[in-house]
Structure 1
Amino acid sequence: MQRPLADEIRPKTLDEVVGQRHLLSPGAVLRRLIDSGTEANMVFYGPSGTGKTTIANIIARQTNKTLHRLNATTASLQDVKDIIADVGTLLAPGGILLYLDEIQYFNKKQQQSLLEFMENGSLTLIASTTENPYFYVYGALLSRSTVFEFKAVSPEEVEPAVLRALKIEQDRSPLPLDWEQDVPRQIATACGGDVRKAINAVELLCRAAMPRDGKLMLTLDDVEQVAQRSAMRYDRGGDAMYDAASALMKSLRGSDPDAALHYLARFLEAGDLITPCRRLLCSASEDVGMAYPQAVSIVKACVDTAMQLGLPEAQLPLAQAAILLATAPKSNSVTAGIGRAWADVRAGRTGDVPRELQNVHADSAGMEREQGYLYPHDFPRHWVQQQYLPDALKGVHYYEYGDNKTEQAAKHYWDEIKGPQP
């Protein structure tokens, strides 16, 4: 059986690894650890196809430890016990190096079973995960390990690997193999930073290539069919989803309509309407707020319309909402005001509700007292000086008018009525 091309051309040295220069360039901590042969427990965190397994294999070849590989999606606690049973025997005289892929699928008990042997040095762990290890990896295990984050590989870094794969396929092709000029670049771009996916695409394209005029030609149309949605990383409920949601929110706040539309399009491509709708609704109050109070009702109407239409038509009202929020004047006075008020409540700064504001039916029968509440609409311009905060908070200000036209107009209006405030 022929080996997969991605495995066949897997790098054997650190200099052959595609991408991850922040980890592997000369002088980087991980590079120094590997070159010096230092044995350390590590957690490799990052997207698929970015070199985690490749680097673990390189480390294994530079150590005298017996290498074991487990995938947490299929491994059991017994598998871990069987490996640990080799510690101190002739099967593992120098100790064990365990490469544990997708460690997030191990439960707490399974992860705990490794701790004793990591502590005494008889087992060195290299774990990999596509999810944030600080959420999914047991704290005691993390405290004994160093986390290294792997990044999606850029198209510029992937393209040489694609060309290398194409050359191998070209050398062993039964017919002359050629490709349209932009095919390598398109494959590198469409893989979404996943080198393995790019190499697999090369292999699939070469296997499916149709003979034409005595040779095989790889076309951009074929690349598009093979790539499909692979350039986009999206896992509902995973880091990629939350990263995209965060980027959408921050683009709206940063008044960048182009970026906002880009991240919105990612959700639309994934068929996720709920997440961007929540972000849009939140931004209307959090980031625009009193600078343009009508934004919240407009965005709500856009969201309701989108949910009624469904995809693909939902793209239009959601894009309208995103552009509105990104180009609207900004104010976080709502966020800051409720934040300060809630902080006081949490800190216990409350006090009794002033008598004037209490429910008129609060007194016991026969103990009624004059409430003393002044009805603002009975006074000129519908306002009268009156204490509303509890005595313990008298004079406290939570809301500060923003420096936008709408809030400054409101401030001017009330300054004329109320006069200078203490």
Structure 2
Amino acid sequence: MRVELLAVGDELLFGDIVNGNAAWLGRQLADVGVVLKTSTVVGDDVEMIAARIAEGLGRADAVIMTGGLGPTQDDVTREGIARAAGVGLRRDAFLEAMLRRRFRALGREGPAAGGVVAPEMNYRQADIPEGGEPLPNEVGTAPGIQLEMAGGVVYAMPGVPHEMYPMFTGSVLPDLLRRAGEPAVVVHRVLRTAGVWESVVAHALAEEIDRLAPIGNPTIAFLASGGQTRVRISARAGDRAQAYTLIEPVEAAARAALGSALYGVDDDTLEGTVLGLLADRGETLAVAESLTGGLLAGRLTDVPGASAVFHGGVVTYATDAKVSVLGVDAGLLATSGAVSTEAAAAMATGVRDLLGATHGLAVTGVAGPDELEGKPVGTLYIGIAGPFGVATRSARLPGDRPQNRTYAVVQALDALRRTLAVHTCQPG
């Protein structure tokens, strides 16, 4: 079963609303083995809607539409579907009566509304293309539409998510699966990496991707966000056990190729992994932050049970605070600067001593938008102090101010994770 998505609305084209419906529908379809090749946005234009429906059915078995089913003049999805099918619209008497009852129940028409009659345009929602069938809307007033056409089937649903979700799961998805026959089970395994960019991850898995290309099942996809890259391995089979059997050798090859960049699977988080490693070792952590301004501590305390390991954090944003709070030597800062390897190391040692933790982790750098101390935007220094001594790492981050702060948190956590892997130390 091949499906295309078509979202309707000028507000989507102009960026007033983000098309979250497409993301949600994509996940639902992937989970039942439906092949989704294209997702398109079109404005409130009858001719454009009709053209996109015709193009979609030329490539796929079904087009699933969202948006444009309301009562106002710019809601023209019905007209677009009718134009694509070469038919007219019919007023469904049952739908119209249902709408009138609903408006009265809502106090928008009749005695409860002071004798007000709902505007006639509201009943455009009862117009259905000839040959089409309405899809029930249990939580709103606009019914959906299902229409058989020469190239396949068109489903149209409201763009309002809380109306679209139950219509899809209750009406559209069951009909799709009926048409597809026995649905395949789709299983995903997500491998999570940090400390390397997406292109590096893709290069590491290039050989396995080439091996799988002629087979087409399983597949590998890369999802980069927030300074991390997820590797999603997906397999289709008759049942979950068979799908996992297909995934196992691919996962093993990916693990070997990714090496130390791999930190977890599926729902694991980098901060949760780091805290878990520390807990297993009976060790504790304190952090000192400059450019991240508390984001690092925030990520750590998002993890339930973090207090068993995390002693606390200190935001020493100003240079003087590094001296007065963390005890960083003023002469060192005057010589090397607050954005330096030396400052990061001293901050890590200072916060470790201040909060009595096994490890101190510190970040300093230049988030932007302007350079600092002659250092370019994106400069990052990380310090880690522990029983093994002091380690540092530097990096050049590629983003704007918000991105660099997020990337810095990931880089710091990953640096600590990798350091812990190397040093099997005990508290002291």
Short-chain TM bin = under 0.3
User: What TM-score results when the alignment is normalised by the length of structure 1?
Assistant: 0.22
User: What TM-score results when the alignment is normalised by the length of structure 2?
Assistant: 0.22
Greater helix fraction, Structure 1 or Structure 2:
1
Greater strand fraction, Structure 1 or Structure 2:
2
